[in-house]
Each structure stands twice: as structure tokens, then as C-alpha cells.
Amino acid sequence: MASSAAGCVVIVGSGVIGRSWAMLFASGGFQVKLYDIEQQQIRNALENIRKEMKLLEQAGSLKGSLSVEEQLSLISGCPNIQEAVEGAMHIQECVPEDLELKKKIFAQLDSIIDDRVILSSSTSCLMPSKLFAGLVHVKQCIVAHPVNPPYYIPLVELVPHPETAPTTVDRTHALMKKIGQCPMRVQKEVAGFVLNRLQYAIISEAWRLVEEGIVSPSDLDLVMSEGLGMRYAFIGPLETMHLNAEGMLSYCDRYSEGMKHVLKTFGPIPEFSRATAEKVNQDMCMKVPDDPEHLAARRQWRDECLMRLAKLKSQVQPQ
Ligand code: NAI
């Protein structure tokens, strides 16, 4: 295997997210060691990564400046966690979303790492204060939450434990940028971090509107895909306010009363009742039947769209 001047990264857990991280780190020239409790998972991951990279190359979408073979030569499996972390500069944990399991793994890693390596979790919703509680190396711990599929969606939420050292956040931020991702800092931990809080706010209102018979499920989705989503791929809700008037202050002067009037009509947290779920499901299945083949095909189409959007964004940015 090739050695890399960029440094060595360890992936703990070689499932869906671990594989994506491996590809991203290799694209940035890092040596990657894949570890998993299941040997077969490591073998599957290596095979799957090879196939994915070849397809990306054919589509002209392989990230980084190295060739497929150069990137592949940077990735290897390692069945022994102690050996894997030796000399590593960053460890990215990607095991299933189970607090006790993750805590067990962090305790194990805590006992074998040095003072320099960063210990990072991919968790979607577990709080850093719970995940890293009591670790000797807590200053080196951070959550780096990717968005699925990470190869096409660059955002990474960085969420520190209250005792995480500022240098850990800065180093992780720089590392994410180096591999072409777009890191953002969550200043203080909060349930759902930022992305899922926004996502759940949207889901919540979508559900209420459908439940109250105001809009059909497929028309609701059109409002995002053909409306709000068109601009949100380029500018966020706050910049949208800024641009939709003569700046933010002008927007607030003009529209805050109207917004408050509408916001007061929002209902309580939905129960996500079976009856509404079935109604939504019926509509969704007309477009995408919920058998594995149709779902996989649609996901593939989604990823191709995201890949093209990423290309477009790289051409039009930065302004
Ligand atoms: P997955 O189930 O695809 O992969 C988990 C891997 O961890 C498996 O290969 C499993 O064998 C391995 N594993 C289990 N116990 C282990 C242990 N003790 N030591 C080493 N490896 C072990 O899970 P996935 O989807 O990759 O998720 C991983 C993490 O990423 C979770 O915390 C999840 O919340 C987070 N995440 C997932 C996203 C998604 O959409 N799948 C998006 C963003 C974050």
C-alpha cells in the first residue's frame, strides 16, 4: 500500500457512512485504514469502494487530483484496532447509532490513543456530552456529522463536547475542507444539531398540511423540489430574506408581522398517525413503489442528480 504524506485516517465501522468517508479521505490524499468488527464488512467495503470509484471516474465525477488506482492504493483494511490507530491523525467512528455501543468503542479508543489524534463521531443525533463523557482525551473529541450521501452532499456539522479544545474544532474544520467537504460549526450541542432541527421543522409542517387536507402529499413535495429547494441549493433561508427585500432589516420591517401572523397558526407536534402515514405512503408509492428495486433505482437517480448539482455548484461558486 502507498504511504501518504497527508497523514493517516482510521475509519471504525465500514458500513454505508464509513465507506463514504474512506473515499473522501482518499480523494484528499490521506492514507485510510478501514476497521470493522465484521471481517466480511471490510472485504465488502473494499470491493464496493473499488466499484464506486470506477463508476465515478467513468462519469467524470471522481473527487481529488489522484487517479482511481492512486486513491485505491491509499485504502486498506485492518482487522486489529490497536494496529489501525497507530500513527493516525484522525479517527472517524461510523458504527451503528447506539449510545452504549459507541461509548464502549470510545472508551476502548481512549485507552490506546496518544494526545495528538482526533477522535470524531459520525453520529446523527447522539449528544457529544453523552458520547464522550469521562474520556481522558475528551479535549480531542468531536462530532463530525455528515449528510447522506456524503460523497455528493458536502455539509459536515461539527459539534463539540463542552470540554473539546478549540484546536480540535479548528483541525477538524481544516481537515474537512482539505477533503472537499463543507464544515460548519455548531457552537453548543443541541438535540438534532442544526440540520435535523431544520429538517424536522419542515417535516412537521408538511405533515400537518397533508393531515389537514390542505395539500396532497405529492403536491407538498413539489413545493420543495420545484420551489423552495431551487434556491436553497444555493442560498439559505436567511440570505433569501436578505435578497427578497432591500436587505435583512428591510425584510423584517416589511414582513415580520405577516410571518408572525402565519406562524401563530402552526399546529402542535404531529403524532405521525398510522392513518396519515398510509395516506402519504399511497401517494409516494404511485411515484416510487416501496419494493427494494424501485427504491434503489430512485436513490441512484437522486445521487446522479446530486452529482450534477455538485458539478454545477462548483462551476458557479464562489462569487
Ligand atoms: P451501517 O450499519 O451501514 O454500518 C455500521 C458498521 O459498523 C457495520 O459495518 C458494522 O459491522 C460495524 N460495527 C458494528 N459494531 C462495531 C464495533 N463494535 N466495532 C467496529 N465496527 C462495528 O451504519 P451507517 O449507516 O454507516 O451509520 C454509521 C453512523 O453514521 C451512525 O452513527 C449513523 O447515525 C451515522 N450517520 C448515518 C447516516 C445515514 O444516512 N446512513 C447519515 C449521517 C450519519
Domain count, the chain: 2
The larger pLDDT score, comparing residue 131 to residue 6, is at: 131
Question: Do 269 and 176 belong together in one domain?
Answer: no
Locate 256 and state its grid cell.
415580520
Domain with residue 123: its CATH number is 3.40.50.720
* Each residue's pLDDT tens digit, 116-163: 999 999 999 999 999 999 999 999 999 999 999 999 999 999 999 999
> 36: CA distance to ligand 1 center in Å?
10
**Domain ends where: 183, 201, 219?**
183
Q: What is the mean pLDDT of residues 301-308?
A: 92
Q: Which residue has the cell 444555493?
A: 234
At 3, is the pLDDT very low, low, confident or very high (cuts 50, 70, 90)?
Answer: low
The answer to whether 135 and 112 are in contact (CB under 8 A) is no
**Domain ends where: 160, 183, 206?**
183
Tell the residue nearest (CA) to atom 14 of ligand 1: 95
Residue 2 has pLDDT above 50, yes or no: no
Q: Is 265 part of a structural domain of the chain? A: yes
> 95: CA distance to ligand 1 center in Å?
3
Strand partners, 185: 158
Question: Do 162 and 231 belong together in one domain?
Answer: no
Residue 317 has pLDDT above 70, yes or no: no
* Each residue's pLDDT tens digit, 187-218: 999 999 999 999 999 999 999 999 999 999 99
Q: What is the mean pLDDT of residues 294-301?
A: 96
Question: Do 126 and 45 belong together in one domain?
Answer: yes
Max distance between CA atoms of the chain, in angstroms, equals 62
> Which pLDDT does position 318 carry in this prediction?
63
Q: Is 236 part of a structural domain of the chain? A: yes
Residue 100 has pLDDT above 60, yes or no: yes
* Domain around 275: 193-286
> 228: CA distance to ligand 1 center in Å?
31
> Which pLDDT does position 311 carry in this prediction?
85
Question: Do 136 and 46 belong together in one domain?
Answer: yes
- What percent of the chain stands above pLDDT 90? 93
> Which pLDDT does position 314 carry in this prediction?
83
Q: Choose which residue among 11, 16, 78 to substitute to test ligand 1 binding: the one with the highest number of ligand atoms within 8 A of its C-beta.
A: 16
* Each residue's pLDDT tens digit, 256-286: 999 999 999 999 999 999 999 999 999 999 9
Domain with residue 215: its CATH number is 1.10.1040.10
Residue 289 and residue 297: Cα distance in Å, rounded?
Answer: 11
Q: Which residue has the cell 453548543?
A: 188
**Domain ends where: 122, 148, 183?**
183
> 143: CA distance to ligand 1 center in Å?
14
Atom of ligand 1 nearest to the CA of 38: 11
**Amino acid letter, 223:** V
278 marked as part of a ligand binding site: no
Contact residues of ligand 1, CB 6 A cut-off:
12-18, 36-38, 41, 94-97, 105, 122-124, 145-146, 148
Question: Do 198 and 178 belong together in one domain?
Answer: no
> Which pLDDT does position 1 carry in this prediction?
46
CA dihedral (36, 181, 60, 3) in degrees, to 10, reads -50
Question: Do 173 and 117 belong together in one domain?
Answer: yes
Question: Do 20 and 60 belong together in one domain?
Answer: yes
Q: Model's pTM, two decimal places?
A: 0.94
Lowest mean pLDDT among 111-115, 215-219, 312-316: 312-316
Residue 142 and residue 163: Cα distance in Å, rounded?
Answer: 10
Q: What is the mean pLDDT of residues 70-94?
A: 96
